[in-house]
Structure 1
Amino acid sequence: MAVYNDTRPHPGTRPATGLMHRLVADVLGRLAAWNDTRVTRNALSRLSDRELDDIGLTRSDIDRITR
């Protein structure tokens, strides 16, 4: 009878590898959040004062909303 014993951890389960994955995921998440904020700020800035008033905002609200 043959027995195969595999005690090596899988590549993604080592502590250093897991830390690197979390770090990369965090950086990518922050980059995506920054881009969403940038797109929202640009879209709101392109609206006229009348259009902003229709949705209950003023120009001074744009920075507060995108923080």
Structure 2
Amino acid sequence: MAALDTTRITTGSFGLVGRIGATFASVANAAIEWSDARATRNALNSLSDRELEDIGLCRGDIDAVADGRR
């Protein structure tokens, strides 16, 4: 699982460089979230129906779990 440090919060504007950095961080976070959702979806799809039932899921729940809605 990837991690990106987003704990530094700035209160001012750093102009163009700050906006470029913020855009890069936003794109990087989106890519990491997409990758994590894909890995979760693949792992859950590899389970049998019985194994999914053991953890309280069905095949129809996989997308919601991978997207963080459940």
TM over 0.5: yes
More helix by share: 1
Is there any run of 5+ residues in structure 2 with no aligned partner, and where?
1-12
- Amino acid corresponding to residue 63 of structure 1 in structure 2: D
What is the Cα-based RMSD across aligned positions, in Å?
1.2
- Aligned pairs for 1:1-67 (under 5 A) are 14-67=14-67
Q: Choose 1 or 2 for highest CA Rg.
A: 1
How far apart are residue 28 of structure 1 and its match? 0.3
Q: Given the two structures, how large is their TM-score scaled by the length of structure 1?
A: 0.76
Q: Which structure is higher in RCO with an 8 Å CA cutoff and minimum separation 6?
A: 2
Where does structure 1 differ by over 2 angstroms across 4 or more consecutive aligned residues?
none
How far apart are residue 65 of structure 1 and its match? 1.5
Q: Given the two structures, how large is their TM-score scaled by the length of structure 2?
A: 0.73
Is there any run of 5+ residues in structure 1 with no aligned partner, and where?
1-12
